[in-house]
Amino acid sequence: MIVYGRNAVRELLRGPRTVSRLWATSRTAREEWLVGIKGCELELADGGEIEGLCGSSDHQGVCAEASQYIYADARVLLTAEAPLIMALDEIQDPQNLGAICRTAECVGATAVVIPERRSALVTAAVCKASAGAVEHLAVAVVRNLADFLADAKAAQCWVYGAAAEARMTYDQPDYRGGVVCVLGSEGKGLRPRVAAACDELISLPLHGQISSLNVSATAAVLLYEVLQRRTSI
């Protein structure tokens, strides 16, 4: 798997995955975080060569060849003490998945859970969009998201789904203990079976002219509200 972008590669080198080769422009190779890299071969390349390797012009002068991303076991996630899990219902945009993973990692969430079908997976684009957060955050793939939410409730987690029509606002729940927050896909929201699997549906207030926030913005608002509730005395 090729990973590209300065933050993504920097966190890749700090994370658990094996890195076998590293390419950088001469300018990037002189940066402090790349000097003295051990355990992988550093090769100088021009920008065009790096773009050819990673398939993106957004490489920022560096890319690396790494072992495949290893997904977490969703069942193990639910055994953590008071887990905070973000479950994503068919979010297909890699930029949104990456941005959500970045916020989740920053607030110290336990994991992000995604379904195996009709969902973005952890690709090079997601690594870049997450600024490398996926190297330090557990991401699990499940066959059926509604079934996972049922398992979460059986493990004594509260499950909150974000829905624009919900009467309960996002700042009303307690959010302490085990919590799973569920966000729906771009444009469609939560599927009916996934919404029905939630304990409560919650909404974010909208006072402008448009009808919804971007899903990654919703995730950021919700995760920091959860963090505030869980860390307040």
To the nearest whole number, what is the mean pLDDT of the chain? 92
Distances (CA, A) of 104 to 38, 97, 139, 178, 222: 30, 10, 11, 15, 10
Show the domain range for 55.
2-66
34 and 80 belong to one structural domain: no
Same domain, 222 and 194: yes
CA distances from 90 to 206, 212, 231 (A): 23, 17, 30
Mean pLDDT of 133-155: 97
Distance, in Å, from the CA atom of 145 to the CA atom of 58, rounded to the nearest integer, reads 32
Classify 173 as helix, strand or coil.
Answer: coil
Kindly indicate the confidence band of residue 232, based on its pLDDT and cuts at 50, 70 and 90: confident
Residues 89 and 42 in one domain: no
Task: Kindly indicate the confidence band of residue 7, based on its pLDDT and cuts at 50, 70 and 90.
Answer: very high
Residue 175 in this model has a pLDDT that exceeds 60: yes
pLDDT at position 42 is: 85
> What is the spatial distance between Cα 156 and Cα 151, in angstroms, rounded to a whole number?
9
Cβ burial of 156 (10 Å; 0-12, 13-18, 19+) is exposed
Same domain for 126 and 154, yes or no, is: yes
Of the three residues 66, 82, 112, the one that is the final residue of a domain is 66
Whether pTM exceeds 0.85: yes
Among 14, 37, 66, residue at a domain's last position: 66
140 with 189, same domain?
yes
Specify whether 97 is located in the same domain as 158.
yes
Please tell me the predicted confidence (pLDDT) of residue 38: 61
Choosing from 66, 85, 114, the residue where a domain stops is: 66
Considering its fold, how many domains does the chain have in total?
Answer: 2
DSSP per-residue string spanning 22-66: EEE-HHHHTSGGGTT--SSEEEE--HHHHHHHHS-S--TTEEEEE
| pLDDT at residue 233 tops 60 | no
Count of beta carbons in the 10 Å neighbourhood of residue 16: 9
| Percentage of residues of the chain with pLDDT beyond 70 | 97
What is the domain-level CATH number for residue 175? Answer: 3.40.1280.10
- The span from the CA of 204 to the CA of 207, in Å, is 10
Interval 27-40: pLDDT, tens: 888 886 776 666 67
Task: Note whether 159 and 190 are same-domain residues.
Answer: yes
Report whether pLDDT(111) > 90. yes
d(CA 76, CA 183): 21
**Residues 184, 81: one domain?**
yes
Q: Is there a single domain that holds both residue 134 and residue 84? A: yes
